[in-house]
Chain A
Amino acid sequence: MIKKLCILLFVSFFLINCGGGDQAKTEQAPAPAVNPDGVTEEQVKNGIGPIAAFTLEALDQELADKGNEVFGLKCIACHKLDERLVGPPLGGVTTRRSPSFIMNMILNPDEMVKKHPEVKAMLAEFYVPMTFQNVTQDDARAILEYLRTQ
């Protein structure tokens, strides 16, 4: 009798537990159809980081010149325009990537390399993850302007 009671208790406990589990599952929203790191379609396009999507206006040559200077200081050790160095060539990059993607890549490379599916794929090709070069937001904007000219 005691044995039967024990079994009954055990089974009911198990059932209650299972029931709870089911309930918890149904309360969760269905997983969005994105990659495993939870990156949205918008982030894939605009990059992950402090810069929200924006539209470029007419080229600001003065800003591009400043960007050229910063590029020479902070970027050329790893990037050429026409061929691979440590990282990919950057000539024409503004035709391939959105402005915010480029700035987020400069300003938040750590997270971009860890999460962004396309950047992750690039790591497998280039091996060396891009790092932050202590570039201000203004300087990143200037670099973007310079890259528009290349």
Chain B
Amino acid sequence: MNKTVIRIVGLIIVMATFLFISECAQKEKPILGSSDAALAVYVAPGDYDEFYAFTSGGFSGQVGVYGLPSGRLFRQIPVFSVNPENGYGFTEETKDMLKTTFGHIPWDDAHHPELSQTDGVPDGRWLFINANNTTRVARIDLKTFETAEIIEIPNSGGNHGSPFITQNTEYVIASTRFSVPIPQRDVSIDTYKENFHGTLTFIKVDPDDGNMDISFQILVPGYDYDLSHAGKGPSHGWAFFTCYNTEQANTLLEVNASKNDKDFIAAVNWKMAEKYLAEGKGKTRPGEYYRNHMDHRTHSSVSELKKTVTFLDPADCPELIYYMPTPKSPHGVDVDPSGEYIVGGGKLAAVVSVHSFSKMLKAIEEQKFIGDAGGIPILDYDATIAGEVTNVGLGPLHTEFDGKGYAYTSAFITSEVVKWKLGTWEVVDRIPTYYSLGHLMIPGGDSRKPWGKYLVGLNKMTKDRYLSTGPELTHAAQLIDISGDKMKLLLDFPTVGEPHYAQGIPANLVHPNTTKIYELESNEHPYRAVSEKEARVERDGNEVHVYMTTIRTHFKPDNIEGVKLGDVVYFHVTNLEQDWDIPHGFAMQGAQNSELLIMPGATNTLRWEPKKIGVFPFYCTDFCSALHQEMQGYVRVSPKGSKVPIKFN
């Protein structure tokens, strides 16, 4: 009897404990795992996502293409890093896309994707992204999802505040995180304050084909120019740049660049810059840079080296640029959809400062300056400030907007998204992220018309969130529903590389316009073979050019003889397919570069230097059909000086 009582009591205790534990667990994760969240992100097989999200790859140098709300990864677009998977940066056609004044650079650190805009709204034409390390800006064509152009930025170091665009994609703007001697020269690092400068670069974008060229650079004091955003609506014609290290430290910046209570947001009147340029105030200065772009008729890159740039010196150009004091080492500078508010994320302050554009204009008019920095007037903080958002978490970095009167700021140190109201500056909601949130993104959230349904948080650390993959873990994105009063965490998904920033756009502005094939009739590649009749092998000295065609399920020619040790063989492979989703691969044994992945109608070239005597196979690497395994061929390599003639079938 007693035993039974004990058993029953014991059972009750166990059950109560279990209930208690499961209740705790539920309290900790009220949304994740609920069927509501699952339904909200479920995109049925065969259905399409509502939005594209483009995330920067960070140290992968590439761009990730995801669908929202599903979080499915569709593609990684090779941009600044070579990609042996499809030959980008290795093929004869694409290797010069990575050409710089430092030579061929196979990697970079890509931070901020930025969609082209028309009238302040993302238009789905192009995506720009910066290379932070070897300073460049790339343009990706959203018809083909291929890197169409890369332009180097001269007189720059650490191209971080880049590439942010003006309301009609008139300019892509870029700024130097690391000030450097301009022009570069051999000086003591101790002479930082004297010899080091920053530049703010304005790259003109051709409205028809998107081609970029550097219009002008503004020489600025040697601070660290961190991020940027252009004005919109009433503030169209202005661009804003955060800067830290106004201390101008050149060692141990973590301490030495964190001394001032306030650093600056630089406000640049670029319409005024255009006026000064028209008046001939620009000075031609040395500045070598490469501009590389893909010519889609020849499927090949074209590189041009430019030697000079046009400089505007604020000393010669009054009213061109002003500094607005902003606490403290600010990171993001984000302009609200109305164009009136300029939000500075005070990275080392527990406050977000919001400047008013109209107050700024008034302060300039009334000359409310508290001094100058390198000749640039510094405006009185109280004269430009519209409000301060307090209780915004620690380490506020970056803010986007929902178009419904609210702003969302990422707080890095406290790992949270904080929602606050424009105008009243009160915090109305907050939600934790997992973990260490850097930037955040709302589709169109830095434009005049945000699609304020989802917010994506880009987390730097994931620690215990996923199955372990050893010391190196994935970064992550978290999808948050912002359609209601309260934010709801819906999904988290791992990302490629380190996404610093992202852009989102409704799928219907991109998906219907995409290219499916390249027309053979338009192929102007000098080594094309647009029908099997044109397939052949030609010797030119020690170069052997193979004009090869590929179609399901054979190469022509597929038996090649007469190649000798010491030759350089170029396989120019044209994919004769003219239907969507039939790329062919081409891999050659012993090739020291990559494979080819050739889209329908395109010609790609693999350079191969045979190293051994013998007969070596090549084959199709991209599974194309039931007879894919039969898609192969041989190259016979004879000794140097051998008399074996060129022969092919």
Binding site for B on A (CB under 8 A): 72-74, 76-78, 86, 110, 127-129, 131-135
Contact = CB atoms under 8 A, between A and B. Distances in A.
B532 A76 contact: yes
Given A73-B530, A73-B531, A78-B551, A127 B579 contact: no
Contacts of B625: 127-129
A69 to B, nearest CB: 10
B626 to A, nearest CB: 4
B554 interface: yes
B531 A134 contact: no
A78 B531 CA distance: 11
Interface residue tally on B, bucketed by range: 20 to 34
Given A77-B576, A127-B625, A134-B519, A86 B552 contact: yes
A110 to B, nearest CB: 8
B577 interface: yes
8 tightest A-B CB contacts, nearest first = A134-B578, A131-B579, A127-B626, A77-B551, A133-B578, A73-B531, A128-B625, A132-B579
Given A77-B532, A134-B519, A128 B578 contact: no
A78 B550 CA distance: 10
Nearest to A123: B626
Given A86-B551, A132-B579, 15 more contacts: A72-B531, A73-B530, A76-B532, A77-B532, A77-B549, A77-B551, A77-B556, A86-B554, A86-B627, A127-B627, A128-B553, A131-B552, A133-B577, A134-B519, A135-B578
Given A77-B551, A78-B551, A134 B556 contact: no
B79 interface: no
A132 B600 CA distance: 11
B578 A77 contact: no
A131 B582 contact: yes
Interface in B430-479: none
B533 interface: yes
A128 B626 contact: yes
Nearest to A132: B579
B520 interface: yes
A74 B577 CA distance: 9
B510 interface: no
Contact of A86 (B553, B578, B601): B553
B517 interface: yes
8 contacts: A73-B531, A77-B531, A86-B627, A127-B626, A128-B626, A132-B579, A133-B578, A133-B579
Interface string B622-635: 00011100000000
A20 B105 CA distance: 72
A134 B552 contact: no
B424 to A, nearest CB: 57
B552 A128 contact: yes
Given A127-B627, A128-B627, A133-B578, A73 B520 contact: yes
Contacts of B577: 131, 133
Given A77-B551, A78-B551, A86-B554, A131 B531 contact: no
A134 B517 contact: yes
Nearest to A110: B579
A113 to B, nearest CB: 12
Interface of A is mostly: loop
A134 B577 CA distance: 9
A128 B601 CA distance: 19
Contacts of A86: 551-554, 627
Interface string B559-590: 00000000000000000111100100000000
A135 B519 CA distance: 10
A86 to B, nearest CB: 6
B446 to A, nearest CB: 39
Interface string B534-565: 00000000000000010111101000000000
A72 B532 CA distance: 8
Contacts of A129: 625
A81 B627 CA distance: 21
Contacts of A133: 577-579
B599 to A, nearest CB: 13
Interface string B616-649: 0000000001110000000000000000000000
A72 B534 CA distance: 10
Nearest to A127: B626
A18 B601 CA distance: 57
Contacts of B520: 73, 134
A106 to B, nearest CB: 11
A86 B556 CA distance: 13
Contacts of A73: 520, 530-531
Contacts of B578: 74, 131-135
B525 to A, nearest CB: 16
Contacts of A128: 552-553, 625-627
Among the interface residues A74, A78, A131, which one has the most CB atoms of the partner chain B within 10 A? A131
Nearest to A109: B579
Contacts of B517: 134
A89 B625 CA distance: 20
B449 to A, nearest CB: 37
A109 B387 CA distance: 64
A60 B644 CA distance: 48
Contacts of A110: 579
A134 B549 CA distance: 17
Among the interface residues A77, A127, A132, which one has the most CB atoms of the partner chain B within 10 A? A77
A4 B552 CA distance: 69
Contacts of A135: 578
Contacts of B530: 73
Contacts of A132: 578-579
A60 B552 CA distance: 32
A72 B530 CA distance: 10
Nearest to B535: A77
A12 to B, nearest CB: 34
A73 B574 CA distance: 13
Nearest to A76: B532
A126 B601 CA distance: 24
A27 to B, nearest CB: 30
Contact of A76 (B519, B531, B582, B601): B531
Interface string B284-311: 0000000000000000000000000000
Contacts of A134: 517, 519-520, 578-579, 601
A72 B533 contact: yes
Interface string B507-518: 000000000010
Nearest to A73: B531
Nearest to A135: B578
Nearest to B556: A77
A86 B370 CA distance: 80
Contacts of B576: 77
Contacts of B533: 72, 76
A79 B578 CA distance: 15
Interface in B97-137: none
Contacts of A72: 531, 533
Nearest to A134: B578
A131 B576 CA distance: 11
A82 to B, nearest CB: 16
